[in-house]
Amino acid sequence: MWTEIDTHISRVTGEKFVSQQHLSISGGCINQGFAISDRQLTYFVKLNQASQVSMFAAEMLGLQQMSTTGTIRVPGPICWGTTGNSSYLVLEWLEMTTGNHKSWQEMGRKLAAMHKTTSNQGFGWDINNTIGSTPQINNFSNSWIEFYIQHRLGYQFKLAKKRGGSFPLAEKLLAAIPELLANYQVQPALVHGDLWGGNAGFTVEGEPVIFDPATYFGDREVDIAMTELFGGFPPTFYQGYEEIYPLHTGYETRKTLYNLY
């Protein structure tokens, strides 16, 4: 397996790479993660079953699109593919550390700058991807309300129902969304899509980095809302964001709706 991955890395980068170390590290709860090294260069490799290769292909495209904005750093995507029974995604290796007040503020500024990247195709993305391991449908729509009902909350309710879940208030909630978002003008923004604390960090130089995206063009507030979950980001992050791209009135109400997803 490693020989095939090494060969792919060498072909893409134009530099011969023969890994000698394969250190198992955390890849989250979905993938296996490895730091592979030839004692000079190191790469981060995610592994999953071969059937999950489309998940890695979409992740690489998302990282590439965020990177091309020139706003906030992401791990550089190298290549993806399959070998035997496994699929893989190879990324730039970054030494990570915790952030201080200044670096968190800078993350807020850089995310705000990325959110100014828009799409003339509306809300959605060129391909479907995943949030975690759950399929995420990204068919474009000119209406954020329609997109959120059909491809976000509504789709989640359908998946849950197939798995035996019961949500007696689901239809009532979906029917209320147009009123909840009435008179709210949304511009499609490039969003990370899964921006909780476990998917953000800092290089040892203090540069903000975001990773493990579920990219699409949506309401930028979905990213900000998610940053408030699981302990939340520190206040300086929001201060930095507001400096560049202030949130609209009513966010406190909308964030509850968005975090249901």
Report, as residue numbers or ranges, the catalytic residues: 194
164 Rama class: left (phi>0) / alpha (psi -120 to 50) / beta: left
The full 3-state SS of 207-243, as one line of letters, equals CEEECCCCCEEECCHHHHHHHCCCCCCCHHHHHHHHH
Task: Tell me how far apart the alpha carbons of residues 178 and 175 are, in angstroms, rounded to a whole number.
Answer: 7
User: Of all helices (H) and strands (E), which one includes residue 44?
Assistant: strand 42-49
Please name the residues in contact with 105: beta carbons below 8 A apart, sequence gap of 6 or more. 236, 237, 239, 240
Task: Tell me how far apart the alpha carbons of residues 123 and 139 are, in angstroms, rounded to a whole number.
Answer: 8
Instruction: Give the tokens for residue 12.
Output: 């893409």
The answer to whether 127 touches 61, Cβ cutoff 8 Å, is yes
The answer to whether 44 touches 174, Cβ cutoff 8 Å, is no
Mutual orientation of helices 170-180 and 251-259 as an angle, nearest 10°?
A: 150
